[in-house]
Amino acid sequence: MGRIGETTLEIDLSALEHNFDHFKSRLDPQTKFLAVVKAFAYGSDMVSIAKKLEALKVDYFAVAYVREGVLLRDAGIKTPILVLHPQVINFGELIDRCLEPSLYSPRILRDFLQVAKEKAQHKYPVHLKFNTGLNRLGFWENDVNHILKVLDGRDELEIVSVFSHLAASEDENERAFSLQQIDTFKKISTALTQKLSHRPVRHMLNTSGIINYPEAQFEMVRSGIGLYGYGNHHEIDEILKPVATLKTVISQMHKIEPDESVGYNRAFKSDGHRITATLPIGHADGIGRQYGGDKTHVFVKGKRAPIIGNVCMDMIMIDVTDIDCEEGDEVVIFGGNHSAEEFASSAHTISYEILTAISQRVKRLIIP
Ligand SMILES: *Cc1c(COP(=O)(O)O)cnc(C)c1O
């Protein structure tokens, strides 16, 4: 491949297919697969990721907000789209764009029913979200009767799925809690479906759930991070392929004398003769200030180079004293063999955060 020439996030669609196939192979053949493409497909490129997954016959998409679903519809995506966290103000647009809401509280149910009625809907597909311990979003177990009462004798809405979300699916120390959540979810969905004339799809597992609780796959699973190549699990990470690789180039190199400093606030003070490289990427591109100060590495010619001093808005400086490199050379921030999980952990955070932080200013290069 030619030189990238500027900061670029490469999106490898064959890696996406590999990860999708891997998770499908862990599931029963009839289990439906919902791909979570919220937050620009975890900071990559929502439209190209969704188009690829649609071609691979994924069953469902999920986004967090209505705006994200609208972007997918504008791009011609036809697959059903679940909106996990819709707001009342967007209900009209949600219906106009054939997006399917997660209904998560008595208020949201009442307000959505009202809009569906005004828009003369008949069996509009909706999803009921139950809280089983995450205590973030969702109806409570004892809301079941209320929901049934509100919907009794009306036909504006059809409950197409019932779901919940695990609080600690990646944490083996919380196994008992997760099993308890699964149990509560079974009770709730049974209580609900007994009173309905049809059987909604049930789903509970995110990526780590698929890995650790395959017995709870029900009729569908919801995977995000795993599709992008990270499984919160060492052995699985060996199998998965990172979809996104963040690369940049060396803009300029400097020889630094002993006692000189580098960057704002003189945060790096040299203890000897050093060679530094300045890179065209900064906190406005998603590399936050927590990655400065000599604790995070990037890769030049396959060798580790620490980010030194303070991260600037548009630039970072790295120490390349022991690396044979020159201006214009490529630098890998993360991706490929250099996991975003490891990059993130140097600043005590997780792959999800660094992936979704890469700002829209960074060029995306789609590799088919
Ligand atoms: C984001 C999200 C997911 C995806 O989780 P991963 O750990 O990325 O697989 C699944 N379900 C819900 C409700 C979510 O908000």
Instruction: Report the relative pairing of strands 32-36 and 157-163 from DSSP bridges.
Output: unpaired
The distance from CA 43 to its chain's CA centroid, rounded to whole angstroms, is 7
pLDDT in tens, 202-243: 999 999 999 999 999 999 999 999 999 999 999 999 999 999
What percent of the chain clears pLDDT 90, i.e. is strictly above it? 99
| Residue 254 CA to ligand 1 centre (angstroms) | 44
Using alpha carbons, select from 18, 68, 12 the residue that is nearest to residue 40.
68
| Residue 83 CA to ligand 1 centre (angstroms) | 12
Question: Residue 2: is its pLDDT beyond 90?
Answer: no
- CA 212/CA 171 separation, integer angstroms: 9
pLDDT in tens, 140-154: 999 999 999 999 999
- CB 362 within 8 Å of CB 43: no
Give the CATH number of domain 31-228: 3.20.20.10
Nearest alpha carbon, ligand 1 atom 12: 165
Please state the φ and ψ torsions of residue 346, each to the nearest 5 degrees: -65, -20
- Side-chain-side CA neighbours of 317 within 13 Å: the count stands at 24
Q: Quote the longest CA-to-CA distance of the chain.
A: 81
Structure tokens belonging to residue 324: 């044979």
Which amino acids bring their CB within 6 angstroms of ligand 1? 36, 38, 84, 165, 206-208, 222-226
Positions of E strands within the chain: 8-12, 32-36, 60-63, 81-83, 100-103, 124-129, 157-163, 201-203, 220-223, 244-249, 252-256, 261-262, 268-269, 274-279, 297-300, 303-308, 316-319, 330-334, 363-367
Residue 60 appears among annotated catalytic residues = no
Among 36, 49, 139, name the best residue to mutate to test ligand 1's pocket (greatest count of ligand atoms within 8 A of Cβ).
Answer: 36
Question: Residue 34: is its pLDDT beyond 80?
Answer: yes
- CB 156 within 8 Å of CB 130: no
Nearest alpha carbon, ligand 1 atom 13: 165
Give the CATH number of domain 244-367: 2.40.37.10
Nearest alpha carbon, ligand 1 atom 4: 224
Helix (H/G/I), strand (E/B), else coil: 103: strand
Question: Residue 15: is its pLDDT beyond 50?
Answer: yes
Task: Spot the catalytic one: 32, 65, 186, 264.
Answer: 264
**Which amino acid is residue 105, in one-letter code?**
S
Among 84, 104, 134, 164, name the best residue to mutate to test ligand 1's pocket (greatest count of ligand atoms within 8 A of Cβ).
Answer: 84
Domain ranges within the chain, ordered by starting residue: 31-228, 244-367
| Residue 343 CA to ligand 1 centre (angstroms) | 21
Task: Spot the catalytic one: 24, 32, 38, 60.
Answer: 38
Which atom of ligand 1 sits closest to the CA of residue 222?
10
Which atom of ligand 1 sits closest to the CA of residue 169?
7
pLDDT value of residue 54: 98
For tokens 């200030």, name the residue.
289
Helix (H/G/I), strand (E/B), else coil: 288: coil
- CA 230/CA 280 separation, integer angstroms: 26
- CB 330 within 8 Å of CB 315: no
* Predicted TM-score of the model (pTM): 0.97
Which atom of ligand 1 sits closest to the CA of residue 137?
13
Which atom of ligand 1 sits closest to the CA of residue 102?
13
| Residue 119 CA to ligand 1 centre (angstroms) | 30
Give residue 328's region: left, alpha or beta (phi > 0; psi -120 to 50): left
- Side-chain-side CA neighbours of 237 within 13 Å: the count stands at 15
Instruction: Tell me how far CA of residue 16 lies from CA of 63, 80, 228, 238, 361, in angstroms.
Output: 18, 20, 6, 15, 23
pLDDT band at 1 (very low <50, low <70, confident <90, very high): very low
Nearest alpha carbon, ligand 1 atom 6: 224
pLDDT band at 187 (very low <50, low <70, confident <90, very high): very high
Using alpha carbons, select from 4, 30, 9, 64 the residue that is nearest to residue 224.
64
Among 206, 213, 354, name the best residue to mutate to test ligand 1's pocket (greatest count of ligand atoms within 8 A of Cβ).
Answer: 206
| Residue 224 CA to ligand 1 centre (angstroms) | 6
Query: Average pLDDT in the 104-122 region?
Result: 98
Query: Average pLDDT in the 178-185 region?
Result: 98
pLDDT band at 3 (very low <50, low <70, confident <90, very high): confident
The distance from CA 306 to its chain's CA centroid, rounded to whole angstroms, is 27
Query: Average pLDDT in the 129-140 region?
Result: 98
| Residue 35 CA to ligand 1 centre (angstroms) | 9
Residue 264 appears among annotated catalytic residues = yes
pLDDT in tens, 57-91: 999 999 999 999 999 999 999 999 999 999 999 99
